[in-house]
């Protein structure tokens, strides 16, 4: 179906335009079949979209009781003595979704799922990785790397993580019929969820990711965690390969920090260095790729209208 880029004035306008598209698309999906499956993201970028989406649901524009959702990612190693405490930790992505969307719906989704990172005990994971080095290998060329667990590992714990946590999440998505519409943001270096820059595309269904030290240090410096030992060192994340299996992917981005990665993702090469560049291949193979950007994040694209046209990308400047 190709790529369309909507350029908006600012965060508020971006949120309205993105929500309008998502709401209309959801209405269309629910007219065509019994239920809709949405892929959801955390972070600041989609928060305004979620407010408009919940308002539309509560006004009866569509039946939110016919929707299932799957989130992109979740931390491993959140503070807490048990699974419940980790899931409800204020920095968990499950808690974020409750705060930003789920609690605002008068009629709840049929089912909501977040990757099962809170089921993993980080201390046990670190011990098993250390004691079973032949069971896994790092994949990636940059600081953040995925941990690829090999077939038939000696560690029963790592085997459980592969079968139930990683493959288990992708099986749940498949059994739901796949994701109809996936909402994503983008990191400053072009990463989607915790599919960090440099992690290869091949085999990137659901990933166990070792967070780089800079990410951990920033989480403490930004006040999300009081000290390094409280900050998660790992995460579970959909990889780009799985993200771009959705029937429609909507990327929302604003601000100067996103400009370079947004530009390179559409006008540069398809490369794991910019994970969202996988969207180029996705669109060529018939996927519907939608970018909703503020005019700052869209700066590099606006400067190259001819190249966008040559690549068959539709630019709709609403700024």
- The strand pair at 234-238 and 73-76 is best described as antiparallel
Domains of the chain: 2-317 (3.40.50.1360)
Residue 72 phi, psi dihedral angles, 5° rounding: -70, -40
The single-letter DSSP state of residue 195 is B
Cα–Cα distance for residue pair 163/176, rounded to 1 Å: 18
Residues 181/62, Cβ–Cβ less than 8 Å: no
DSSP string, 143-161: SSEEEEEPSS-S-HHHHHI
User: Vertex 123, ends 157 and 205: CA angle to 5°?
Assistant: 55
Residues with pLDDT less than 70, the chain: none
CA 195 from chain centre, in angstroms, equals: 9
Specify the pLDDT at position 222: 78
Consecutive H or E run containing 316:
strand 314-317
DSSP string, 35-88: -EEEEE--SSTTHHHHHHHHHHHHTTSS-GGGEEEEESEEEES-S-SSHHHHHT
Residues 264/307, Cβ–Cβ less than 8 Å: no
Specify the pLDDT at position 155: 98
Cα–Cα distance for residue pair 260/266, rounded to 1 Å: 10
Consecutive H or E run containing 208:
strand 206-210
Nearest to 184 by CA among 282, 38, 25, 311: 38
Could you give the angle at which helices 47-58 and 93-100 cross, rounded to 10 degrees? 50
Encoding tokens for residue 214?
């800079």
**Residue 255, SS3 per DSSP:** coil
Encoding tokens for residue 155?
């560690």
Nearest to 119 by CA among 67, 155, 157: 157
Residues 128/84, Cβ–Cβ less than 8 Å: no
- Cross-strand pairs, 207: 237
Nearest to 145 by CA among 77, 201, 196: 196
* pTM for the full predicted model: 0.96
DSSP string, 154-193: S-HHHHHIIIIIIHHHHHHHHHTT--SEEEE---TTS-BT
- Enumerate residues 6+ apart whose C-beta is below 8 A from 194: 73, 144, 207, 209, 211, 235, 236, 237
Q: pLDDT tens, 199-237?
A: 999 988 999 999 888 778 878 887 888 888 888 999 999
Q: pLDDT tens, 89-120?
A: 999 999 999 999 999 999 999 999 999 999 99
Residues 43/184, Cβ–Cβ less than 8 Å: no
Q: Tokens 């091949």, residue?
A: 202
């Amino acid at each position: 179906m190709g790529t369309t880029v909507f350029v908006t004035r600012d965060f508020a306008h971006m949120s309205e335009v993105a929500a309008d598209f998502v709401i209309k698309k959801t209405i269309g999906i629910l007219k065509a079949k019994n239920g809709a499956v949405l892929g959801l993201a955390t972070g600041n970028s989609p928060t305004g979209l979620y407010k408009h989406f919940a308002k539309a649901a509560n006004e009866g524009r569509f039946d939110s009781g016919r929707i299932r959702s799957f989130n992109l990612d979740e931390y491993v190693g959140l503070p807490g003595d048990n699974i419940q405490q980790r899931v409800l930790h204020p920095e968990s992505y499950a808690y974020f979704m409750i705060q930003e969307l789920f609690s605002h719906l008068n009629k709840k989704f049929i089912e909501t799922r977040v990757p099962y990172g809170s089921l993993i005990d980080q201390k046990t994971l670190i011990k098993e990785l250390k004691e079973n080095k032949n069971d896994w290998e790092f994949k990636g060329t940059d600081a953040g790397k995925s941990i690829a667990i090999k077939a038939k590992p000696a560690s029963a714990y790592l085997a459980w993580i592969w079968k139930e946590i990683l493959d288990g999440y992708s099986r749940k998505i498949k059994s739901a019929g796949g994701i109809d519409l996936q909402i994503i943001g983008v990191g400053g270096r072009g990463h989607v969820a915790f599919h960090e820059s440099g992690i290869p595309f091949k085999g990137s269904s659901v990933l166990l990711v070792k967070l780089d030290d800079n990410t951990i240090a920033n989480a403490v410096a930004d006040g999300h965690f009081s000290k390094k030992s409280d900050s998660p060192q790992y995460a579970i994340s959909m990889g780009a390969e799985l993200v771009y299996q959705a029937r429609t992917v909507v990327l929302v981005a604003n601000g100067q920090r996103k400009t370079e990665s947004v530009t390179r993702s559409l006008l540069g090469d398809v490369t794991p260095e910019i994970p969202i560049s996988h969207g180029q291949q996705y669109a060529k193979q018939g996927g519907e790729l939608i970018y909703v950007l503020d005019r700052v994040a869209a700066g590099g694209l606006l400067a190259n209208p001819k190249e966008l046209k040559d690549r068959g990308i539709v630019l709709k400047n609403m700024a």
